[in-house]
Amino acid sequence: MKLEKGSISPKELMFSVFCFMQGTVLRSGFIISVTRQDSWAMAITGFLLTLPILAVYTGLLRRFPGKNLIEIDDIVFGPVFGKILSAFYLFFFVSLAALNTRDLGNFVAGYMMPETPIAAVTLIFLVGCAYTLRKGIENLMHLSVLFSIIAMGALAVNSILLLKDVQPEFLRPFFQLKFSEFVQGTVSVAAVPMGEILAFTMITPMLGKDKKVGKPLLLGLALSATSMALVIIRDIITLGPLVAIVSLPSFESMRYVSLAGILTRMESIYAVVLVILFLFKVSILLYAFVLGLTQMLSGKSSPRINPDPAGQSYEAEQRRGRRSAPPLVLISVAFVFFYSLFVFESVMENMNWGATTAPFFSLTFEFLLPAVSLLVVCLRKIDKAQEVRA
Amino acid sequence: MKKQAVKTGGRVLRALSVSFSQKCRKGARRAGVFLLCILLILCLCSCWSQRELNTLAIVLGTTLDVGDQPDTLTLTAQVVKASELGSGTTTKGNSSGGKAYVNVSYTDNSVLAAVRELTRMQNRRLYFAHNEVLIFSGELAKKDIAEGLDVFMRDYETRMNVNLLISKGKASEILDENVELEKIPAIHISRLMGNQKSNSETVVVTLRDFAIATLSGSSAPVAPMVELYESDGKKYAKLEGTAVFKKGKMIGELNKEQTRGILWVTNKAQSGEKTVDTPWGQVTLEVLHSSSDLKPVKGEDGTIRMKLTIDVEGAIQGNETTENMSIPENVAMLKGKMKNDVRSDVEGALVQARTLSADVFGFGEAIHREYPEEWEKMKGNWDQEFPKIGMDVQINAELSSEGGLVKPVTPGGAQ
């Protein structure tokens, strides 16, 4: 097989996006409490709202092929202002990593191991993430297809087992939303799971210079939106109005599985899948953070994180003692560990933040800053942009 | 020459020391990995939050009664005694031949407080993940059912597919019933609930169903009732009727015919028997399949009526008469009788629901789904609106089979 190690294919990028989203999809309680039986539609409108955001990213990435977000900042805004902007992105990545770590900790400590301190859970989890980064993020991305199959398989099996308990009429009446609720639901979906695709702007250079980045990202998002809509529909027709008051609708629906008194307690499958997907997500966020940090601190535009596919092979790099993983992994993981411990005092605070502040917090980084960058690019480098397009 | 030797020696020494330090590093690394493996092995036994079977008190049934002090309730948990379970009644195993369960009980302000208090009396912790039935006493249900519901749904150990029942009389006594075929009363009741498909006279309600109906705002939640009867000085439990709730309190009961009426309307009746009177005697019909469809229809004057269509498929299962029931005229007559029977069930339930002004059929939800705008106007005073909603019932009955006999067994029927 003539696969160049250290680089990824568009297909792997697409499934990586899917895995990245899926962790949040399975915890979709945050919008269902607002938009109730119409939440499934929010997955679609949220996806549509993400399209302009995605267009901004591809616009930026296409103008600077082979560069990631932090490098683009340096080019567009110069070394000083670009670094300040990059610092904002890094803050966003590390915050997301900490928030997701905390979510996982809350889930495991709350539902599975109530007597284990959350720190023990998140520490072991983060050690797993650090190991992933040391072994090279591209290996994780090669596995994305497998993880997607596992996630979809688990979803399908659980849904089939629930078929005898569902009541489709819970979906009706359709679209009884106030306009404000509709906007809130759409923006939440666009900002919280979907817009987090921003982290992939640090990874797309791994595709190689000649590959288009827009298509795999778009397809990955579309796949995630579809699965999100399906998961939400499944939860609604299983739980009815209960869906709006339980904290983890998917988890509760799977707990309800009981077929002939034998096939019960399926939530362990859900838990395993959720942990894998969270590992995937946090690893990617951590990678984005660590890579950005290294680039910022070293001041070099390309610190050989990803071996150039056209240049020396990965093994040669290894032989010369260079690691494929950026430095600072362990220290970043330690930082995320402590950050995740104090980021929220309680689950209630976490939920409240997720429902009220998170969309605005996220959209600032996901949409506002990249859009400004693109605007500056268009105004300052019109010639280069035209050149690229031609 | 000497200089040269010193130089060479130095080089050798340096090379040696480098290789030594490399070896050391390698060794240290190996030791580190080895230690890590040992540490990981320690994790494997999972001693953290471990729960061994012999330290758990596995709860199979829970009841809640009104406590003797104001604002208290009594929790009774039926804990399985595993050592008594394994042996049959005739074989002599290690068991002492006693009951296979223990009922533990405590009265306190809340469910959780009672569970915690029980740890002062029991050496094992109550483990609710395998709880199969949850029984509220009628007295408690008439006061307030909310607390028990909340705690049993909020806790991560309990499950929402537990069967919910309301007892006539004290709930804790139900778990003390005499069981003969099973060893544990809670299992008896839980399997009993699984069996109710075949008579269609009991609503089978899980905690989830009850919570969904409670959340709806217009529907009146229902739950099956269980009571004790005495036979030869021993007490046994049986299912009898349905409890009707409104705003979190039990407000009335339905008898078994009215319960069957609800099941017809809500498309939950599956099987059952109907004994009909004919001019020649009684004939027993079995309901094989049935399905129903409830739909609100808006009339020309803007009022909403419910339209109920029931399809019943039955079979002749018993003929006590000497008349041949398989001839077309008699089949038509039996179909008519079956229709009337179903209709009277439905109408009986409707009358009782109107008397209680309790929407046990989910009319409100059906209107909400079909005519959301009209529903906005009606939902404010649904209590007054509900008894005024009319219902048109259309029943399609089929008799598809006559069992294994084409003619009845009559004395001298061979001539």
Domain segments of chain A: what residues? Answer: 17-389
Task: With CB atoms and an 8 Å threshold, state whether A240 touches B159.
Answer: no
Inter-CA distances, A19 with A207, A281, B71, B125, B249, Å? 18, 7, 50, 39, 46
Token code pair at residue B75: 């929790």
pLDDT score recorded for residue A326: 61
Mean pLDDT of A232-236: 90
Rg (CA), chain A: 21
Mean pLDDT of A260-277: 82
**B113-161: pLDDT as tens digits:** 998 888 888 888 888 888 999 999 999 999 888 878 888 888 888 888 8
The confidence band for A3, taking pLDDT boundaries of 50, 70 and 90, is very low
Nearest by CB: A242 against B156, B208, B372: B208
The confidence band for A189, taking pLDDT boundaries of 50, 70 and 90, is confident
Dist CA A247 CA A354 (whole Å): 12
Task: With CB atoms and an 8 Å threshold, state whether B48 touches A114.
Answer: no
Dist CA A219 CA A242 (whole Å): 32
Task: With CB atoms and an 8 Å threshold, state whether A115 touches B48.
Answer: yes
For chains A and B, count residue pairs whose Cβ atoms are closer than 8 Å. 40
Q: Is the pLDDT of residue A187 over 50?
A: yes
Peptide bond into B70 cis (omega under 30): no
The reply to whether A110 touches chain B by the CB within 8 Å rule is: yes
Task: With CB atoms and an 8 Å threshold, state whether A114 touches B208.
Answer: no
Starting at the edge strand found earlier in the chain, the sheet holding B391-401 runs: B272-278, B281-298, B304-319, B391-401
Which candidate in B208, B209, B215 is best for mutational testing of the A interface (most A CBs within 10 A)? Answer: B208
pLDDT greater at residue A148 or residue A63: A148
A387 and A216 Cβ atoms separated by less than 8 Å: no
Nearest by CB: A173 against B49, B161, B372: B372
Label each residue of B58-117 as H, E or C. Answer: EEEEEEEEECCCCCCEEEEEEEECHHHHCCCCCCCCCCCCCCCEEEEEEEECCHHHHHHH
Q: Which CB contacts under 8 angstroms, 24+ apart, belong to B114-118?
A: B114/B73, B114/B74, B114/B75, B115/B75, B115/B77, B118/B75, B118/B77
B276 and B337 Cβ atoms separated by less than 8 Å: yes
The confidence band for A348, taking pLDDT boundaries of 50, 70 and 90, is confident
What is the complex's ipTM, to 2 decimals? 0.79
| Residue numbers in B near A175 (CB within 8 A) | none
Task: With CB atoms and an 8 Å threshold, state whether A120 touches B370.
Answer: no
Nearest by CB: A241 against B49, B159, B216: B216
Q: How far is A1 from chain B (nearest CA, A)?
A: 33
Inter-CA distances, B313 with A240, A333, B328, Å? 30, 66, 16
Task: With CB atoms and an 8 Å threshold, state whether A256 touches B368.
Answer: no
How much of chain A, in percent, has pLDDT values that exceed 90?
22
| Residue numbers in B near A258 (CB within 8 A) | 161
- Average model confidence (pLDDT) for chain A? 82
- CB neighbour list of residue B236: distance below 8 Å, 6 or more residues apart: B177, B178, B228, B229, B230
Task: With CB atoms and an 8 Å threshold, state whether B49 touches A113.
Answer: yes
Task: With CB atoms and an 8 Å threshold, state whether B212 touches A116.
Answer: no
- CB neighbour list of residue B276: distance below 8 Å, 6 or more residues apart: B282, B283, B284, B285, B334, B337, B338, B341
The reply to whether A131 touches chain B by the CB within 8 Å rule is: no
| Residue numbers in B near A176 (CB within 8 A) | 372
A32 and A237 Cβ atoms separated by less than 8 Å: no
pLDDT score recorded for residue B273: 83
Dist CA B366 CA A167 (whole Å): 13
pLDDT score recorded for residue B10: 67
The confidence band for A319, taking pLDDT boundaries of 50, 70 and 90, is very low
B152: helix, strand or coil: helix
pLDDT score recorded for residue A316: 43
Only one residue has tokens 């997955």, namely: A43
The reply to whether A117 touches chain B by the CB within 8 Å rule is: no
Task: With CB atoms and an 8 Å threshold, state whether A169 touches B161.
Answer: no
Nearest by CB: B211 against A111, A242, A255: A242
pLDDT score recorded for residue B308: 92
pLDDT score recorded for residue A279: 92
| Residue numbers in A near B161 (CB within 8 A) | 255-256, 258
Task: For B35, list phi and psi in degrees, rounded to 5.
Answer: -60, -40
Q: In chain A, which among 228-287 make CB contacts under 8 A with chain B?
A: 239-242, 245, 252, 255-256, 258
Token code pair at residue A293: 């940090």
Nearest by CB: B156 against A111, A172, A239: A111
Task: With CB atoms and an 8 Å threshold, state whether B212 touches A239.
Answer: yes
The reply to whether B56 touches chain A by the CB within 8 Å rule is: no
What residues does B276 pair with on adjacent strands? B283
Only one residue has tokens 């509709």, namely: A182
Dist CA A43 CA A24 (whole Å): 12
- CB neighbour list of residue B338: distance below 8 Å, 6 or more residues apart: B274, B276, B285, B312, B314, B397, B399
Dist CA A46 CA A184 (whole Å): 10
pLDDT score recorded for residue A195: 87
Dist CA A39 CA A28 (whole Å): 9
A115, closest residue in chain B (CA to CA): B49
Q: Is the pLDDT of residue A309 over 80?
A: no
β-pairing, B101-108 with B222-231? unpaired
Q: How far is B131 from chain A (nearest CA, A)?
A: 13
> Nearest-CA neighbor of A251 among A83, A27, A44, A87?
A27
Q: Is the pLDDT of residue A256 over 50?
A: yes
Q: Is A88 left (phi over 0), alpha (psi -120 to 50) or beta?
A: alpha
The confidence band for A147, taking pLDDT boundaries of 50, 70 and 90, is very high
B129, closest residue in chain A (CA to CA): A265
Task: With CB atoms and an 8 Å threshold, state whether A172 touches B369.
Answer: yes
Q: In chain B, which among 142-161 make CB contacts under 8 A with chain A?
A: 156, 159-161
Dist CA B264 CA B85 (whole Å): 39
Task: With CB atoms and an 8 Å threshold, state whether A242 touches B49.
Answer: no
Dist CA B268 CA B263 (whole Å): 5
| Residue numbers in B near A241 (CB within 8 A) | 212, 215-216
A212 and A218 Cβ atoms separated by less than 8 Å: no
Q: Is the pLDDT of residue A300 over 60?
A: no
> Nearest-CA neighbor of B210 among B168, B164, B179, B178?
B164
Q: In chain B, which among 342-401 make CB contacts under 8 A with chain A?
A: 368-370, 372
pLDDT score recorded for residue B18: 66
Task: With CB atoms and an 8 Å threshold, state whether A240 touches B212.
Answer: yes
pLDDT score recorded for residue A148: 93
Regions of chain B short of the pLDDT cut 50: 89-93, 95
Q: How many CB atoms lie within 10 A of CB B101?
A: 22
| Residue numbers in B near A252 (CB within 8 A) | 160
**CATH for A17-389 (3.30.1330.10, 3.30.70.260, 3.40.720.10, 1.20.1740.10):** 1.20.1740.10
